[in-house]
Each structure stands twice: as structure tokens, then as C-alpha cells.
Amino acid sequence: MLRKSILFFFLLLFISQGLKSQSIKNITFVKDSTKLVLHYDLVSFIKGNTFNVEIFCSTDAGETYNIPLKTVIGDIGPDITIGKNKSLIWDVFKDIGGLAGNVSFKVVAEKNPTKRNYFLAYSGSIEAPFGAQIGMLGGVSPYFGFKMNADFNAKHVYVYDEKSLILDYPYNTIYFIYGDEVKKPRFSVTAGVTAQVFNNAFAYLGAGYGKSQLLWEVNEYNYADDQLAEVNWAINNSWSVKGLELEGGLMLPIKDLLLTIGTTSNSLRRPTLTFGVGYKLD
């Protein structure tokens, strides 16, 4: 009994020397009869990571760890998820009852390869209701997306200046009257990354090219007979923008369903709410 008590003293003294894994924090342990109960927190910056947790024994003050421990139960082995107050219960003397020497132990958590899933989702906004996102979820992964509306390829002939007068207009042959119709061509294509930020939430952030335009209807009439000759469109450049498109938001998986919500903006003007729904594919 005295030998076992001395051995247990060495276990408690040296076990902390081996707990060096950056993923294992806040280690505590207590003696329960001939068992050692160890509690620890398994932490990771990336949510959703899993770890292979192992415990090793050494009788040469930590020079080598090659003695198998067969009676450990609890949060040990492959696919251990991150969380607080994990526990290991080890029946010490069933494994090392015949050992002697300078005994020490270490617990190691090695991150498993990141599991990634493909996803495909509808993604749109009030201004651009047609769009999609496709990519991967898990760790830090890529995605691609686009958004547009029915007028995304609308053409214009004329350009408004700041006073709402049409530039380069042939005033000597025809005159114009503004119509009631308005078009707002909207288009964007983006690429970026997704990253898990909570157990059931991923963030996405992307950049690319986009345009957001305002077109006014222009009804053209002949001077000779005041008859409508043609309907064209003029772009309001003081409102319209094109260039850098930025977007970001959250993706929320619910089993195989994927909900998205975020915002997008072109040239850092007029941010717009975006939304979507799709599938997470195994």
C-alpha cells in the first residue's frame, strides 16, 4: 500500500509536466481510490474541429512515452469535439502496477483532418433576386457566387449630367420627354471564403466585380409631326456605380438545409440585405 501511495504521488507530480498540447487547457485531476480522474478543456479557434486525444506514460522522466494505457475511459480517442470539462478516468494500477522509476504522463490532442462539405444555395436580394452561391463548408474554405436581376444587361444610349439634361442628344432633329419607366440593372460576381465561427454557424466574406445602375426612360419625338419615334434609355451616372463588390454574412446549417443572411455593397455605397436557402451536401 505504501508503494502504491508513493507511486500515486509521482503520478500527480509529473502528470502536469506532460500536458503540453496547445489544445488542452485548464487541467485538473483528483485521486479516486486507485483511479485518477482528469478534467480538461479542449479548445480550438476554428469551431467544428475534432481531435484525437491520447494519453502516454513514461518511466524515464519524459524522455520516451511508449507504455500503452489500456484502462483509460472517457473523452479519449478519435473524434473528440471541443468543449469544457472533458474527463478521463484511468485505473492506474491495472496498467502500471508493476512499474517503477520516474513516472510521468502526457495528454496529447491532435487535430483531425478538417471535414468539408459542399453546398449549393440560392442567394439574392430585393435589387438582385436571381443568384447562387456554391462552395465548401468546413475550416476555411472557398466559395463563389453571383447575383443579378432581369435588367442586368439593359442598354442605354444617353447619359444624364448632374442637372438631369441628356448629354450628346440630337436636339436639332428630335425632342424628348421623360417616361415613367425606370430600370435598375444589377449584377455581381464574387469569390471568397467561409469559416466556422460557432458550432452551428459559418461566416462568409467575399469580393469581386459588380454594377448598380439607374436608367430613365426617354421617349423621343419628331419635331415635324410630334409622333413618337423611338424609346431609349439614359443612365444617371451620379447614382450609378460599378467596380469593387464586397459581401459578407452568415450561413446557418439546419441538418442538410442551409440558410444564409448577409449584406452586399458596390463601391462601398448603398449596402443591401441578402438572403438565401440551399443544401449542404455530404
The domain in which residue 63 lies consists of 2-111
Cα separations (Å) of 267 from 73, 78, 130, 139? 57, 47, 21, 29
> Of 76, 111, 146, which marks where a domain is finished?
111
With a pLDDT cut of 70, the percent of the chain lying above it is 85
Q: Please, which residues have CB within 8 angstroms of residue 45's CB and are 6 or more apart in sequence?
A: none
Q: pLDDT grade, residue 99 (50/70/90)? A: low
Q: Which of 216, 198, 209 is nearest to 267 (CA)?
A: 209
Q: Looking at the structure, do residues 82 and 125 belong to the same domain, yes or no? A: no
pTM of the model: 0.70
Q: Which amino acid is at 87?
A: S
Q: Looking at the structure, do residues 45 and 156 belong to the same domain, yes or no? A: no
Q: Looking at the structure, do residues 127 and 229 belong to the same domain, yes or no? A: yes
Domains in the chain, number: 2
What φ, ψ does residue 75 adopt, rounded to 5°?
Answer: -85, 75
The set of long-range contacts for 72-81, using a CB threshold of 8 Å and a minimum separation of 24, is 75/42, 77/52, 77/53, 78/50, 78/52, 78/112, 79/50, 79/52, 79/112, 80/42, 80/50, 80/51, 80/52, 80/53, 80/109, 81/42, 81/50
| Alpha carbon distance 72, 89 (integer Å) | 6
The answer, yes or no, to whether residue 175 has pLDDT greater than 90, is no
Which CATH number goes with the domain that contains 254?
Answer: 2.40.160.20
Which CATH number goes with the domain that contains 19?
Answer: 2.60.40
Tell me what pLDDT residue 28 has: 80
Tell me what pLDDT residue 117 has: 92
Q: pLDDT grade, residue 154 (50/70/90)? A: very high
Q: What is the mean pLDDT of residues 268-276?
A: 93
